[in-house]
Amino acid sequence: MQITLVVFNDINNVKWEFGIKKVISYETKTLLNTIESISKLEATHVLFWDLSIGNLPNKHQLEKTIKSKGNLWHIGSKIGLRNKPFLLDAIQPTSMLHLSIDNKINHSSWKNTFKGCLIEKQVLKNISLSKYSESIDILGLDFGYKAMKSGIVTRYSAILSEDVTDKKASLKLKEELLFIRNNFDTKAFVWTYITNLFKISPISFYKAFSKNENLALKVFEHSKEEDVLVNKDISTSIIIATLERYGVLKNELKELQELNPAPKEIIIVDQTPKEKRNTEFLKEFSSLPIIYLETNKIGQCSARNLGIKTAKSKFIWFLDDDMEEIPTNYLQKHLETIYSLEADISCGVPDEIGTNYINRDIPKIELSDGFPTNDVLVKRDVLLEVGGFDEKMNQLQSEDEELGLRCVKQGALSVKNNQLRIVHLRANRGGLRNHKVRKITFASSRKKLFERRLLHFSEIYLCLKHFNNKQVYNKLLLNIRGTFIVNGNIFKKSIKILLGIIFLPLTLFKLFKRYKTAKKTYYE
Q: Where are the domains of the chain?
A: 3-209, 236-431, 441-523
pLDDT band at 496 (very low <50, low <70, confident <90, very high): very high
Architecture in CATH of 236-431: Alpha-Beta Complex (3.90)
For the chain, give the percent of residues with pLDDT over 90: 85
61, 228, 235, 382 from 231: Cα distances, Å:
29, 9, 12, 21
What is the structure's pLDDT at 428?
A: 66
H-assigned helices in 98-245: 121-126, 136-150, 173-183, 186-194, 202-209
Taking a C-beta distance cutoff of 8 angstroms, is the pair 520, 463 a contact?
Answer: no
What is the structure's pLDDT at 429?
A: 56
What is the structure's pLDDT at 445?
A: 87
Fold of 3-209: Spore Coat Polysaccharide Biosynthesis Protein SpsA; Chain A (3.90.550)
Region of poorest pLDDT, from 28-32, 67-71, 163-167, 352-356: 352-356
What is the structure's pLDDT at 292?
A: 97
What is the structure's pLDDT at 436?
A: 55
Q: What angle do CA 138, 143, 145 make, to 5 degrees?
A: 95
DSSP state of 387: T
pLDDT band at 357 (very low <50, low <70, confident <90, very high): confident
Taking a C-beta distance cutoff of 8 angstroms, is the pair 152, 126 a contact?
Answer: yes
Q: What angle separates helix 173-183 from helix 186-194, to the nearest 10 degrees?
A: 150
CB burial string 213-222: b at 16+ within 10 A, e below? eebeeebbeb
**HSE-up (13 A, CA, CB side) for residue 428:** 2
* pLDDT tens per residue across span 193-232: 999 999 999 999 999 999 999 888 999 999 888 899 999 9
Distance of CA 523 to the CA centre of its chain: 26
What is the structure's pLDDT at 223?
A: 85
pTM given for the model: 0.93
* pLDDT tens per residue across span 269-304: 999 999 999 999 999 999 999 999 999 999 999 999
Strands 3-8 and 423-424, how do they pair? unpaired
* pLDDT tens per residue across span 296-327: 999 999 999 999 999 999 999 999 999 999 99
Taking a C-beta distance cutoff of 8 angstroms, is the pair 431, 492 a contact?
Answer: no
Taking a C-beta distance cutoff of 8 angstroms, is the pair 452, 514 a contact?
Answer: no
Tell me the pLDDT of the chain averaged across its residues.
Answer: 93
- DSSP one-letter string for 119-152: EEHHHHHHSPPP-S-S-HHHHHHHHHHHHHHHT-
CB atoms inside a 10 Å sphere around CB 281: 12
* pLDDT tens per residue across span 412-463: 999 999 999 999 997 765 555 554 555 677 778 888 998 999 999 999 999 9
Q: What angle separates helix 173-183 from helix 136-150, to the nearest 10 degrees?
A: 20
What is the structure's pLDDT at 40?
A: 78
CB burial string 53-81: b at 16+ within 10 A, e below? bbebbeeebbeebbebbbbbbbbbbbbbb
What is the structure's pLDDT at 187?
A: 95
* pLDDT tens per residue across span 36-58: 888 778 899 999 999 999 899 99
Region of poorest pLDDT, from 174-188, 263-277, 330-344, 352-366: 352-366
* Distance, CA of 180 to CA of 188 (rounded, Å): 8
* Distance, CA of 133 to CA of 207 (rounded, Å): 11
* pLDDT tens per residue across span 371-411: 999 999 999 999 999 999 999 999 999 999 999 999 999 99
H-assigned helices in 39-154: 59-67, 121-126, 136-150
Amino acid present at 26: Y
Question: Quick check: 8 pLDDT over 60?
Answer: yes
pLDDT band at 181 (very low <50, low <70, confident <90, very high): very high
What is the structure's pLDDT at 430?
A: 55
Fold identical between 3-209 and 236-431? yes
For the chain, give the percent of residues with pLDDT over 70: 98
Rg of the chain over Cα atoms, rounded to whole angstroms, equals 25
What is the structure's pLDDT at 68?
A: 94
Question: Quick check: 10 pLDDT over 90?
Answer: no
